[in-house]
Amino acid sequence: GAPILFVVPWVVLRYLYENEGCWERNEKVAVWWVIRCPILVAVAVNFVVFVRILRILVAKVRTHQVSRGDTRLRLARSTLTLIPLLGVHEVVFALAGEGEGGGGLRLAR
């Protein structure tokens, strides 16, 4: 239910100030940041969780309790599993433009 705290004000602002028939355009930046800020906060929290999990994984690999030789492979596999699961890829594209420009970062996203 927490997203409704941000979506409802965003919908009202879009309706009042940027109701041009197409809600895919974001010409007024202030209205766009009403919805974008909570998204960026969630991405930042997920990134912090990812870094903490990664530190735990590295600590487990460095201990001598693990007798297998494929510990680096296991670390890489678990890290690559966590990247899409926690949305870490969004950190790279967090500030990429959503407008109609043809920037390279926007195209990659």
Q: 36-87: per-residue pLDDT in tens?
A: 888 888 888 988 998 998 898 888 777 766 556 677 777 788 888 888 888 8
Domain range enclosing 76: 3-100
Q: Which helix (H) or strand (E) holds 105?
A: helix 104-108
pLDDT at 56: 87
pLDDT at 81: 86
Does residue 10 belong to any structural domain of this protein? yes
Averaged pLDDT of the chain:
77
Domain count along the chain: 1
| Residue burial 19-50, b: 16+ Cβ < 10 Å; e: rest | eeeeeeebeeeebbebbbebeeeebeebbeeb
Does residue 109 belong to any structural domain of this protein? no
pLDDT at 86: 81
Tokens of 41: 């906060």
**Tokens 């960026």 identify what position?**
40
DSSP string covering 17-81? H--SS-TT----HHHHHHHHHHHHHHHHHHHHHHHHHHHHHHHHHHSTT---S-HHHHHHHHHHH
Judged against a pLDDT cut of 80, whether residue 95 lies above it is answered with no
Give 104's pLDDT tier (boundaries 50, 70, 90): low
Does residue 108 belong to any structural domain of this protein? no
pLDDT at 37: 86
Does residue 42 belong to any structural domain of this protein? yes
Give 20's pLDDT tier (boundaries 50, 70, 90): confident
pLDDT at 52: 93
Judged against a pLDDT cut of 80, whether residue 93 lies above it is answered with no
